[in-house]
A = this chain, B = another copy of it.
Amino acid sequence: MNGNRSVDEGLAQKVRAAAAELNYSASPVARSLVLGKTNTIAVVVPDLENPTFHGVLRGLSRAAARDGYHVLIADSAESVDEERILAVETRRRCDGIVLCAPRMADADLRPLLSELNPVVLVNRDAQFSGTPVIVADYKAGLAELLTLLYGLGHRSLAYVSGPRRSASNARRLAAVREFLGDHSDATIQIVPGGVSFADGYYAVERVIASATTGVLAFNDLVAMGLMSALGERGIRVPDQISVVGFDDIPFARYMTPPLTTAAVPVAELGEHAWHRMWDLLHERRPGRPTNFRPQIVNRGSAGPVPASKAVR
């Protein structure tokens, strides 16, 4: 027998030898049917292309593999409707689902969560009991970035925002408000942005119009797009304007100047998501939300306020 029971060791040896000889191993599909578990989990992402999800996926898949689990991927192509169907459909072929930053509204998410159970949520929180949540602490990250810029003398700031309805944007906005409350001499203008390089690129006019000296972008992609557009206009970063991003995607360090940003430990997010899933699969208590605090990486894109604009 492959497992273990009260079997004669000699016999077991021979059986194993024969199995090896015949290159036999039990069919995972048949086992899945009878055991009621597939040893597979699925992860649903809005877009496989997004650098953030790569990291999560990699951390997750390697961690799961170490525990003998397989991972199914489902790319919802940013479609909210698709996301629901996909998750439910996929769930049936595996033991649990990891939902990455689901786009759907809270009201839709709630019932889905119980239908999908067990599920762990990455980068989207929801105060629903029983669903572990792994998030990057966007608020703390942005607060630190604000402090950094403030410390460099910047008082007139701009925040190039993310998607209006995005939870992680709301988090950053909360940090902005809080900061404003604590620093009455600072001003922060909100400039509509988005999530992509292009969004940052096209935000340049409004950023320039804001006449601010330091800008915080929703994420690194937006920051890079902005820097690129700034560069084309001959505006030097950080000499004339400071720009900071968020995420620390692999290329952030390779920009010129290298991007100052808040590093989100994506692979760890993924790894952690797996551990929570494992707990769920083995009926451990869910545990409280895990907050990963981003780490500020101070590279070259943020500098002191240009002398000409310094407030005396």
Contacts and interface: CB of A to CB of B under 8 A. Distances in A.
A293 interface: no
A71 B70 contact: no
Contacts of A73: 57, 61, 71-73
Given A33-B29, A93-B29, A256-B256, A72 B74 contact: no
A171 interface: no
Nearest to A231: B256
Contacts of A48: 54, 57-58, 61
A9 B212 CA distance: 69
* Copies assembled: 2
B54 A75 contact: no
B29 A38 contact: yes
A92 B254 contact: no
Given A33-B30, A254-B228, A58 B54 contact: no
Interface of A: 25, 27-30, 32-33, 38, 40, 47-49, 54-55, 57-58, 61-62, 65, 70-75, 77, 86, 90, 92-93, 197, 224-225, 228, 231, 250-251, 254-256
26 contacts: A27-B92, A28-B92, A28-B93, A29-B29, A29-B93, A33-B33, A40-B93, A47-B58, A48-B54, A49-B250, A57-B73, A58-B75, A61-B73, A62-B77, A65-B75, A70-B90, A70-B93, A71-B72, A71-B73, A72-B72, A73-B73, A197-B254, A224-B254, A225-B254, A228-B254, A255-B256
